[in-house]
Amino acid sequence: MRLATISGRISLITASDTVIDLAGHGWFGPNIQDAYERWDELLEFSKTITEPGTPLSDIPATEFGNPAPQPRQLFAIGLNYAEHAAESSFPPPEEPPVFTKFVTSLADPSGTITLVPGKVDWEVELVVVVGRRAHRVAATDAWSYVAGVSVGQDISERVRQRVGPVPQFSLGKSYPGFGPIGPVLVTPDEFDDPDDLELGCLINGEQMQKGRTSDMIFPVPELIARLSAITPLLPGDVIFTGTPAGVGFGRTPQRYLAPGDELVSYVRGVGEMRHLMVAGY
Ligand code: ZN
């Protein structure tokens, strides 16, 4: 199943690529967070839909919003791919480094991203959205607590991120617009293997990152087990699962986002986000 926020309303995309506005079905409000709060009801309801809906191809990409706009908790994982750890001058971690992106950084899967002073970098990531309250779950059960996955960009201003005396990951990655997610949420059962997805990003058509989630040091089930061992994960919560190699600060010479750059971020089987960088501040 695929779920989206389209024109601000919770929408289901059927297997035949038609769009059903779920907010028109009485018991769901227009906000997609409702779906995560009532995930089992939604799964049951989705099996009963027979109406034709609107062709997906009739809907402009700009109508798609963030499919996980109101997490109560947002977790982000650092150094979760060995090659990215190496380009960051770290050994592969024995514990996943965890930080947050504050929720005001969340943004839609298309539009502009306003650059800030410093060094603004890209990090394409698989985003996981929680569908059931998860506390102390085993890795072997973890996917059953996931509503679905989407594409995320963990946009990062590297100067603030690394300012002393200890790094400020959460602040450096939380300027407005620095956390776009979308364009759709795809349930794990839609993939042959949800632990092996291709993801990448391009700037002005040039491939910058390309990786596979099977290269994660801590795969999604392991992340959920380790996070939920401490903190209950709540419906609608978001996990940015880390970025593969190819970010700007790891390149020689280093490269950062500039006004006019177009950033395209994708996860194969989910879709792509498209953002234009604009000057600001
Ligand atoms: Zn990241």
User: Which range has the worst mean pLDDT, 25-34, 184-193, 266-275?
Assistant: 25-34
Calculate how far, in angstroms, residue 45's C-alpha sits from the geometric centre of ligand 1.
35
Calculate how far, in angstroms, residue 86's C-alpha sits from the geometric centre of ligand 1.
14
Give the C-alpha separation, 250 to 253, whole Å: 8
Per residue in 213-248, pLDDT (tens digit) is 999 999 999 999 999 999 999 999 999 999 999 999
Q: What's the pLDDT at 231?
A: 98
User: How does DSSP classify residue 93?
Assistant: P
Q: What's the pLDDT at 185?
A: 98
* Residues 51, 22 contacting (CB under 8 angstroms): no
Closest Cα to residue 266, out of 221, 224, 203? Answer: 203
User: Which range has the worst mean pLDDT, 40-54, 90-104, 114-128, 137-151?
Assistant: 40-54
Q: What's the pLDDT at 73?
A: 98
Statement: residue 132 has pLDDT above 90: yes
Calculate how far, in angstroms, residue 104's C-alpha sits from the geometric centre of ligand 1.
16
Confidence of residue 26 (pLDDT cuts 50, 70, 90): low
Calculate how far, in angstroms, residue 126's C-alpha sits from the geometric centre of ligand 1.
10
Calculate how far, in angstroms, residue 223's C-alpha sits from the geometric centre of ligand 1.
14
**Geometric angle at alpha carbon 68, from 147 and 50, rounded to 5°:** 60
Residue at 133: amino acid letter = R
Per residue in 160-184, pLDDT (tens digit) is 999 989 888 999 999 999 999 999 9
Calculate how far, in angstroms, residue 79's C-alpha sits from the geometric centre of ligand 1.
8
Confidence of residue 45 (pLDDT cuts 50, 70, 90): confident
Closest Cα to residue 81, out of 97, 67, 64? Answer: 97
Average pLDDT over all residues of the chain = 95
Q: What's the pLDDT at 50?
A: 84
Phi, psi of 22 (to 5 degrees): -70, -25
Q: What's the pLDDT at 29?
A: 78
Protein residues within 5 Å, CB atom, of ion ligand 1: 123, 154, 243
Structure tokens at 163: 């300012």
66-278: CATH architecture: Alpha-Beta Complex (3.90)
The verdict on whether omega for the bond into residue 71 sits within 30 degrees of 0, i.e. cis, is no
* Residues 134, 140 contacting (CB under 8 angstroms): no
Give the C-alpha separation, 155 to 174, whole Å: 8
Statement: residue 53 has pLDDT above 80: yes
Q: How far is CA 184 from the centre of its chain?
A: 10
Statement: residue 86 has pLDDT above 80: yes
Each domain of the chain, given as residue ranges in start order, spans 2-59, 66-278
Calculate how far, in angstroms, residue 201's C-alpha sits from the geometric centre of ligand 1.
13
Calculate how far, in angstroms, residue 70's C-alpha sits from the geometric centre of ligand 1.
19
Cβ contacts of residue 58 below 8 Å, gap of 6+? none
Calculate how far, in angstroms, residue 103's C-alpha sits from the geometric centre of ligand 1.
15
* Residues 76, 178 contacting (CB under 8 angstroms): no
